Amino acid sequence: MSLIVSNGTAEGTILYQYNPSDTAGYAFVALFSITTIIHIVLMLWYRSWYFIPMILGGIMEAGGYYGRAWNHDNPKQIKAYVLYLLLTLSAPPFIAATIYMALTRIMTTLRAAHLSIFNVRFLTTTFVVIDIICFLAFLGGAGMQIAASASLQSAGRKVVLAGLGFQIICFLFFVYIAIRFHKRNLRGPGPLAEVQGVKWRKHSWALYLACLFMLVRNIFRIAEYTQGHEGVIARHEWFIYTFDATMMWLVMVVYATVHPGRLVRQVRKAEKQGEMIDGQELDGVEKEQDAGRQQWS
């Protein structure tokens, strides 16, 4: 079905199978705004600049659900729909980028980079590049879905599906890396894993929980795009708020509650109390990594 735009509204197609709820939309604008502000404060407090992508993702999520709330008064308003579609599809890669960097920070802070099955120096870069590819796919796919041609709309959905599938595969590999690191650090812990007051396990479980929420959201989106505009998901609004909005908000809540900056503070406190090996520096992870790879190979 072709999309015709006249005076800022969509003609010839149905953007939503229902009238979007303004109450739910504004509720998630508020939730994402509050958690984003909290993350800004925490980032400044812990000097954790790698949380900038998550903050940007939170701003984008808030803007996207403002678009849905805007559509309540005019469900055919194309500007509001584009705002929602582009921002809610593009925000998760930004949030995921912070999750990748959080794992790297855990490994290096514990001086246990040698326990990783993936070279820590390239871990963040590799997965952030993957995120950029997915972001471009989502951006392009979303743009194609608002085109006038029905064939372009169909191709846009396929592009988004391909991006989601690729993202899930790579994300599962990332989770595998995190699990293997966790197990190795339990069996043959790094120099800081057993220091009293360094609660690294809590941060690992927080990462798993955030990854679970991300995976649920991505699987839901695949189901949504597979069913198409006439599917069950497209006809019931509660799906999008339960399996997308709530999942992404919970990822931000997890990291606001268990912030990696606290682990860094715990390690620094242990250093001051002399509960660690003297003379080792955090930037010596390359030597540890080479030695560790020989041990675990």
For the stretch 160-210, pLDDT in tens is 899 999 999 999 999 999 999 999 988 876 677 777 678 899 999 999 999
For the chain, the average pLDDT equals 86
- Domain contains 289: no
- Is the residue at 231 inside a domain? yes
* pTM assigned to the model: 0.85
Paired strand residues for 77: 9
CATH number at residue 68: 1.20.1070.10
Look at residues 133, 98, 283, 296 and name the one whose alpha carbon lies nearest to residue 206: 98
Residue in the structure block whose two tokens are 């984008």? 60
> Would 296 be classed as within a structural domain?
no
Structural domain span for residue 204: 4-10+18-269
129 in any annotated domain = yes
3-state SS, residue 233: helix
Long-range CB pairs of 206-211 (<8 Å, 24+ gap) are 206/254, 206/255, 206/257, 206/258, 207/99, 207/102, 207/103, 207/106, 207/178, 208/175, 208/178, 208/179, 209/254, 210/99, 210/250, 210/251, 210/254, 210/255, 211/99, 211/171, 211/174, 211/175, 211/178
* Count of structural domains, the chain: 1
10-residue block means of pLDDT along the chain (297 residues)?
48 78 97 98 96 97 96 89 91 94 93 91 92 88 73 84 92 96 85 76 96 96 88 94 98 97 88 57 42 43
- Quick check: is 24 in a domain? yes
- 124 within domain boundaries: yes
**What is the C-alpha separation between 26 and 43, in angstroms, rounded?**
25
